[in-house]
Amino acid sequence: MKFGLKDMDWEYAGALLANGDADDQAKFLKSFIKECNSWGTRLQVERQLSCVNRKLTSEECETLGMLSYNEEGF
């Protein structure tokens, strides 16, 4: 991993983020997406996210479903 993130306590970071407000959570997700989109192609991003998806349970995937909720579709 880059930038010394290998030694980061991801569970603790996730807990802090989960207990933050919507502004902090949105900033995190926007920066995550922006960085992913800098890799070069959409296919690279989709492949990485599919690898992450395989490591999540069905319940965890369902919980994340609201991240892609679009009011215009309803």
Distances (CA, A) of 31 to 37, 62, 66, 71: 10, 23, 18, 23
- Digits of tens for pLDDT over the chain (74 positions)? 456 677 889 999 999 999 999 999 999 999 999 999 999 899 999 999 999 999 999 999 999 998 988 887 65
Domain that holds residue 39: 13-69
Q: Is residue 5 part of a domain?
A: no
Position 3 in a domain = no
Residue 36 lies in a domain: yes
Instruction: Indicate whether 1 belongs to any domain.
Output: no
Spatial CA neighbour of 64 closest among 47, 74, 42, 49: 49
- The total number of structural domains in the chain stands at 1
Residue 18 falls inside a structural domain: yes
